[in-house]
Amino acid sequence: MPYDRALIDLTATEAVALLRRRAVSPAELVEAAAGRIAEVEPAVNAVPILCLDRAQDRARAIAAGAPRPHDPNWLAGLPVTVKDLDEVAGVRHTFGGSVLFENYVSERSSPSVELLEGNGAVTLGKSNSPEFGFNASTINALFGPTRNPFDTRLTVGGSSGGAAASVATGEAWMALGSDLGASIRLPAAFCSVVGLRPSPGRVPRARRGMSFSMLPVVGPITRTVADCGLMLDAIAGEVWTDPLSLPGAAPGAFGTAATTPRKPGRVGFSMDLGVTPVDPEVAAVVEAAIARLADAGAGIERKAPDLSQGRDVFHAIRGVNHLAAFAPMIAQHGERVIPEIHSSTERAASLPIADYARAENARVAMFQRLMDFLEEHDFLICPTAVMTPFPAEWRRVERLGEHEFDSYIDWIAITFTLSLTSCPVISIPCGFTAGGMPVGLQVLGRPRGEDALLRMAAWCEEVLGAFGRKPVDPMIRH
């Protein structure tokens, strides 16, 4: 179906400015998005569950309502996608393509979706995810793999892979994702867009799940840092049903920070955090980006705190949480539950309680070393992914060069190690390999320091370029 490409090419910030002035209507943006989805979905498979009639109804209702020109959190009818791990009232919800929930329809929305739609977003559909978010590549039994728009033979990473691909290709102007070990940042890096893992509690989480765990968070995926701040304003807030929920920031605070670039002072940099090998091709792109940031005035220092226990600590803590969350499901459904969940829960069940206690103590020590480091440094930078995207059908990575990974998720140790710290972390595009595949940088800020982190990211984007600003047309390869 035909659509207005000029609308698709707008950033979220530009589109919202037009919506607030009523220079364009929400229905026009929904129509443009629907046309773009029809064009690119066969190539990427990013949004397998659509709710376009609901979106048009919502668009018309917003257009008929009173304008809110002075509310900086108001999205005024901007179309978005929601990851198929968060619920949207009246819309099919499969928990990431699980055959166990193939026909389930949500009765109510998740708190983050309630905030997002309450601030004027229009949900177009549910983006693809691995089952229960249990993998770092986006593939599941119901919908199959989501494919990378820069090379459709390859993966988008996971678990918010459909979300990142929907933004990168212009199917939506922003996407709601979630991140436990890598799930916002990795797909953002693989798709050359921006992804923010906020501090735990910054964005309220679903009422079901690991309510007291600091690992799972909900956050934005967008094409620019300014768009990231805009979306964070729309989804951040205190919700009493989330026991970790933080008080809301001042209206528009994150959007203001994301449009106020600030050059950092002292910044630590590590290529591997002491936890993983890194592909030389990725390392070369990262080194070039770090050199440009240093030349522009950032005080880059090649030092980082000791986080080398991150892999063992993460496996212990994540596994125990999964044992609590998924053992009842395994007992009920057996082999219909995906192998990754069996693997994680079995590993946790065999872990002596003393080993879990030691992991908690090691995590505290890692955190204290990081806090000491951040007393003298404003931020810590490292790569987002240690390799380029691999075939979309792969469910795990076995090795990198001569290094063989012990676990199906050990290749994302550079992201899940930072998850353990509970600090906000943003992934921004920093360039491309010689083969044309995107590479991302992670920037970690101080706890609950999203405003400073967004200012730093905006400055990096000024220096390096906004590589994801314009949607990409899928590069179809067989």
Domain boundary assignment for the chain: 5-464
Torsion of CA 178, 46, 172, 127, to 10 degrees: -40
pTM: 0.97
Give the pair of three-digit tokens for residue 263: 């050059």
Rounded Cα distance, 301 and 270, in Å: 9
Tens place of pLDDT per residue across the chain (478 aa)? 799 999 999 999 999 999 999 999 999 999 999 999 999 999 999 999 999 999 999 999 999 999 898 899 999 999 999 999 999 999 999 999 999 999 999 999 999 999 999 999 999 999 999 999 989 999 999 999 999 999 999 999 999 999 999 999 999 999 999 999 999 999 999 999 999 999 999 999 987 777 899 999 999 999 999 999 999 999 999 999 999 999 999 999 999 999 999 999 999 999 999 999 999 999 999 999 999 999 999 999 999 999 999 999 999 998 888 888 888 889 999 888 888 888 888 888 888 899 899 999 999 999 999 999 999 999 999 999 999 999 999 999 999 999 999 988 999 999 999 999 999 999 999 999 999 999 999 999 999 999 999 999 999 999 999 999 999 999 999 8
* Angle in degrees, CA 261, 264, 268, rounded to 5: 135
In the beta sheet, which residues pair with residue 175?
81, 221
**How high is the pLDDT of residue 170?**
98
Give the pair of three-digit tokens for residue 74: 């108001």
Residue that has been written with the tokens 């601030």 in this structure: 119
Helix orientation angle between 12-21 and 225-235, rounded to the nearest 10 degrees: 60
- Residue 441: phi, psi to the nearest 5? -110, 135
SS3 state of residue 442: strand
Rounded Cα distance, 227 and 11, in Å: 7
Rounded Cα distance, 119 and 27, in Å: 17
Do 348 and 153 meet the contact criterion of CB atoms below 8 Å apart?
Answer: no
Q: Give the pairing of strands 194-197 and 425-432.
A: antiparallel
Rounded Cα distance, 397 and 44, in Å: 21
Do 81 and 172 meet the contact criterion of CB atoms below 8 Å apart?
Answer: yes
Rounded Cα distance, 407 and 402, in Å: 15
Q: What H or E segment, with its residue span, contains residue 421? A: none
Rounded Cα distance, 63 and 61, in Å: 5
Rounded Cα distance, 127 and 221, in Å: 12
159 among known catalytic residues: yes
Topology adopted by domain 5-464:
Amidase signature (AS) enzymes (3.90.1300)
Residue that has been written with the tokens 């979630």 in this structure: 178
**For residue 34, what are the contacts with CB-CB under 8 A and spacing of at least 6?**
1, 3, 52, 55, 124
Q: Give the pairing of strands 266-269 and 379-383.
A: parallel
Which is catalytic among the residues 159, 166, 419, 422?
159
Q: How far is CA 243 from the centre of its chain?
A: 22
Rounded Cα distance, 218 and 160, in Å: 10
By C-alpha distance, which of 231, 199, 175 is closest to 418? 199
Query: How does 371-409 read in b/e, with b if 16+ C-beta sit within 10 Å?
Result: eebbeebbbbbbbbbbbbbbebeebbbeebeeeebebbb
Do 369 and 361 meet the contact criterion of CB atoms below 8 Å apart?
Answer: no
By C-alpha distance, which of 15, 43, 146 is closest to 473? 43
* Ranges of H-type helices in 45-137: 52-64, 111-118
Which is catalytic among the residues 166, 178, 183, 192?
183
**How high is the pLDDT of residue 20?**
96
**How high is the pLDDT of residue 375?**
98
343 among known catalytic residues: no
